[in-house]
Amino acid sequence: MSEATTLAIPEVTGGAARRLDRRDARTLLLSALGGALEFYDFVVFVFFAIPLSHLFFPPGTVPWLAQLQVFGIFAAGYLARPLGGIVMAHYGDKRGRKRMFTLSVFLMAVPTLAIGLLPVYAQVGVLAPLLLLLLRVVQGIAVGGEVPGAWVFVAEHVPPQRIGFACASLTSGLTVGILIGSLVAAAINGRMSPAEVLDHGWRLPFLVGGVFGFFAVWLRRWLSETPVFEAMHARRELASGLPLRQVFERHLPGVLLSVLVTWMLTAAILVIILMTPLIVQSAFHVTPARAFLGSNLASFALALGCLGYGWLADRIGYARALLFGALGLLLCSYALYLDLRSGAAHFLVLYPLAGLAVGVTGVVPALMVTAFPPAVRFSGLSFSYNIAYALFGGLTPPLISLLVKRFGVLAPAHYVAFAAVIGMAVAARSLAARSRIHPAPTSVA
């Protein structure tokens, strides 16, 4: 049965695979570092939403409306991701992975630096929020090409039996970017008064992020084009016409698989890592300092969990790692929220444990990379991932609010559990399909 007719997850385990050599390690390290710096640029915006809401809208705007408008501008970055992903993936499949890999981080560095230099509403009026919106859209376009492009880039540099760990190391780097943003925000807010933050402190993380971004551009000049793309180019096997059209015509099962596992990824990251620190303060009355500590511990555990699950996927197979990890995500999510409902006595233990369980998302990029053939890999992965992330990422926060009103404080855990069940269903279907294609040998004793 071909890939075009089944939802089975390709498995590349075992065999006489070579180890990662020094060149592979350098590629993974530089790619993960650049991804961390770029993702820091993308997420640091949300950590300074309150001062931005005061500075970029009319003074008479009520606080809740100003914050809503700032979060709307933040969301615009997510909505722009599919555009950047589709366009950059097209050229990545036609002209090379490295060019787009470098362009994406450059497109992130420029608007991040520019945000730090923007005039505020008191200086230029309504032009201020419009410029902020424009720069946020450019950031969204950049990250839409960066994340899938980075997964494809590292996957095509390493041996097939090491794709799981390679993609997971990149995902771990992105997580470190979130952690850096959180720590920078805490340092600025801890060392400066609110008046100093409003005056100039809010500019610092964007200026630093822009400089870091250009440093990442410089780092990526030391990377080489992927051997897979160079081989396709030499054999003249690059996609003809529109790669995305070929994805729709021949690889819809790969698109469906990628959308479903991305749903699990967004639910785990958004609810457990990004939303829970706010939920525990508002719904469970955990102090901000304790919530912040738990959030950082969970983010650090997530970075380690990604690496662990990537290592595991290369040894037992992507489908089995997904099945095992999704079950762990379900159990740890309920353990965390049941403890919160009971008084949060074990919050600082169970939250990092849940973060470690979210590390199953480190398996997801390897699933998507291997779901598409090399000629249309960038386009297929980028379209599926960015469309799913824009859809589920945009719907999750308001949906969680509605579910809490309907089902109570365990609703976030219910939602993550539902997404985890989807991941387990994908893994189970893949294992069943694989057993039909390759049945176990019968005994002849």
CB atoms within 10 A of CB 179: 22
Give the model's pLDDT for residue 8. Answer: 60
Confidence of residue 63 (pLDDT cuts 50, 70, 90): confident
Give the model's pLDDT for residue 181. Answer: 87
Give the model's pLDDT for residue 442. Answer: 39
Give the model's pLDDT for residue 395. Answer: 81
Q: What is the pTM of this model?
A: 0.85
In a domain, 61, yes or no: yes
Mean pLDDT confidence for 400-407: 84
Mean pLDDT confidence for 272-297: 89
CATH number, residue 153: 1.20.1250.20
Q: Retrieve residue 267's tokens.
A: 């639910």
Answer whether 414's CB lies under 8 Å from 180's CB: no
What spatial distance separates the first Cα and last Cα of the chain, rounded to whole Å? 30
Q: In the chain, how many domains are there?
A: 1
Mean pLDDT confidence for 367-379: 93
For residue 276, pLDDT over 50 is answered with yes
For residue 60, what are the contacts with CB-CB under 8 A and spacing of at least 6?
none
In a domain, 151, yes or no: yes
Mean pLDDT confidence for 82-91: 89
In a domain, 142, yes or no: yes
For residue 351, pLDDT over 80 is answered with yes
Cα 138 to chain centroid, rounded: 17
When the pLDDT of each residue in the chain is averaged and rounded to a whole number, the result is 86
Q: Retrieve residue 9's tokens.
A: 């997850």
- The amino acid occupying position 173 is G
CB atoms within 10 A of CB 133: 15
Helix axes 81-95, 243-250, angle to 10 degrees: 100
With the CA atoms of 335, 338, 342 and 345 taken in that order, what torsion angle do they form, in degrees rounded to the nearest 10? 20
Cα 179 to chain centroid, rounded: 13
In a domain, 301, yes or no: yes
Give the model's pLDDT for residue 439. Answer: 46
What is the residue range of 93's domain?
A: 3-437
Give the model's pLDDT for residue 444. Answer: 34
pLDDT: which is higher, 398 or 408? 408
For residue 166, pLDDT over 90 is answered with yes
Q: 212-268, pLDDT tens digit by residue?
A: 888 888 888 888 888 898 999 888 888 878 899 999 999 999 999 999 999 999 999
How does 1-28 read in b/e, with b if 16+ C-beta sit within 10 Å? Answer: eebeebbbbbbbbeeeeeebeeebeebb
54-58, 79-83, 208-212, 308-312, range with greatest mean pLDDT: 308-312
Q: 312-348, pLDDT tens digit by residue?
A: 999 999 999 999 999 999 999 999 999 999 999 999 9
In a domain, 212, yes or no: yes
Q: What is the largest CA-CA distance in the chain?
A: 86
Give the model's pLDDT for residue 3. Answer: 41
For residue 306, pLDDT over 80 is answered with yes
Confidence of residue 12 (pLDDT cuts 50, 70, 90): low
In a domain, 445, yes or no: no
Give the model's pLDDT for residue 5. Answer: 41
In a domain, 173, yes or no: yes
- The amino acid occupying position 351 is Y
For residue 68, pLDDT over 80 is answered with no
| Cα 38 to Cα 40: distance, rounded to the nearest angstrom | 5
411: helix, strand or coil: helix
In a domain, 443, yes or no: no
Mean pLDDT confidence for 68-88: 81
Mean pLDDT confidence for 197-206: 92
Confidence of residue 17 (pLDDT cuts 50, 70, 90): low
Give the model's pLDDT for residue 194. Answer: 87
Mean pLDDT confidence for 84-101: 88
> 253-262, 305-314, 383-392: lowest mean pLDDT where?
383-392
Place of tokens 């390759």: 438
